[in-house]
Amino acid sequence: MARLKQKKEDALWQADPSLPKHVAIIMDGNGRWAKKRGLPRTAGHAAGAETFRRIATHCKDLGLDYLTVYAFSTENWKRPPEEVSAIMGLLDRYLHEAIEKMERDGIRLRVLGDTAPLSEELRALIARTEEISRGITGFQANICLNYGGRDELVRAARRYAADVAAGRANDLDEAGFASYLYTAGIPDPDLIIRPSGEERLSNFLLWQSAYAEFYYTSVLWPDFTEAELDKALRDYLGRSRRFGGV
Ligand code: FPP
């Protein structure tokens, strides 16, 4: 009975054209989740990676087009080296798995950020998953890795200046500038979710968030369930988006 109700609800969601096309999430609270259980912080990240798997599948099942998650920022290198390598290890494992099953699952993957400082192995995995993704249509998950909003804007400005100097570009408008960002070709997020009770953007999608709706919850990311996402979506559906109009 509960399953039937859930199925009906899912069908209803899928039919709703006002659902966001693109949801972005700051996966926060892994460390506190682990601390509460007397576990090392890295156990929190492992649980967080599991949550990402579940939520990505749920977004796809609901018919959303994009999910973008903040996995590692340009500032996260300041964390203890063992924590950094644990996060990289989880990404490595996730990409290995994705290569095996992303075609079956119908999930396209992109990694957004400066991949140059990452290990050669991780970069090869990213290249392989993006290559497989080109043959898949439908839902896309974007993992922001060594990503910083300010860094992205500075890089875009540099690349634009280089194109001007080389005679490849002249006048610049907003759409033209957006084409220099990591997110080129991806629509802006409609909804940005931050769990764990923190209410800030932390250098995430600075340009792209201009008209995003924000949703905060005190739930820690490893505890974030499909029902929590549904709650955020319901809240979003009640918002009036005016994009500067009336
Ligand atoms: C923020 O929580 C979380 C991170 C910096 C890492 C997020 C990484 C993962 C969930 C694992 C890899 C991801 C994928 C997509 C496989 P925090 O550590 O700042 O938590 P705290 O504020 O409670 O300390």
Distance, CA of 140 to CA of 169 (rounded, Å): 30
Report the separation in Å between the CA atom of 173 and the middle of ligand 1, taken as the mean of its atom positions. 35
- 174 is a domain residue: no
Mutate which of 26, 36, 41, 45 for ligand 1? The one with the most ligand atoms within 8 Å of its CB, which is 45
In a domain, 124, yes or no: yes
Q: Which of 30, 194, 196 to mutate to test the pocket of ligand 1 (most atoms within 8 A of CB)?
A: 30
Q: Give the domain range for residue 60.
A: 21-147+188-235
What total number of domains does the chain contain? 1
- At residue 240, the pLDDT reads 84
Residue 158 belongs to some domain of the structure? no
pTM of the model: 0.94
- The CATH number that applies at residue 192 is 3.40.1180.10
* Residue-level pLDDT at 143: 98
Which of 87, 97, 144 most suits a substitution to test ligand 1, by most atoms within 8 Å of the C-beta? 87
Give domain status of residue 40, yes or no.
yes
Residue 14 is assigned to a structural domain of this protein: no
- For ligand 1, the distance from its centroid to the CA atom of residue 236, given in whole angstroms, is 24
Q: Mean pLDDT for each 10-residue chunk of the chain (246 residues)? A: 62 75 98 98 98 96 96 97 98 95 92 97 96 94 98 97 92 94 98 98 98 98 98 94 84
3-state secondary structure of 109: strand
Classify residue 2: in a domain, yes or no: no
Q: How far is the CA of 232 from the centre of ligand 1 (A)?
A: 20
Point out the residues that are catalytic: 28, 76
Rounded CA-CA distance 4/125 in Å is: 39
d(CA 96, CA 92): 6
CA atoms 129, 71, 186, 196: torsion sign: positive
Q: Which atom of ligand 1 is closest in space to residue 143's alpha carbon? A: 15
Residue ranges around ligand 1 (CB below 6 Å) = 27-32, 45, 48-49, 52, 69, 71, 76, 87, 90-91, 94, 143, 196
201 within some domain: yes
**What's the CA-to-centroid distance between 45 and ligand 1, angstroms?**
5
Between CA 48 and CA 54, with CA 112 as vertex, the angle to 5 degrees is: 30
> Residue 243: its pLDDT value, please?
86
> Strand 108-112's sheet: what is its strand order?
108-112, 140-147, 66-73, 22-26, 191-194, 213-216
User: Is 171 inside a domain boundary?
Assistant: no
Give the pLDDT confidence score for residue 6 in this predicted structure.
67
Q: Are 103 and 78 in contact (CB under 8 A)?
A: no
Per-residue confidence (pLDDT) for residue 199, from 0 to 100: 98
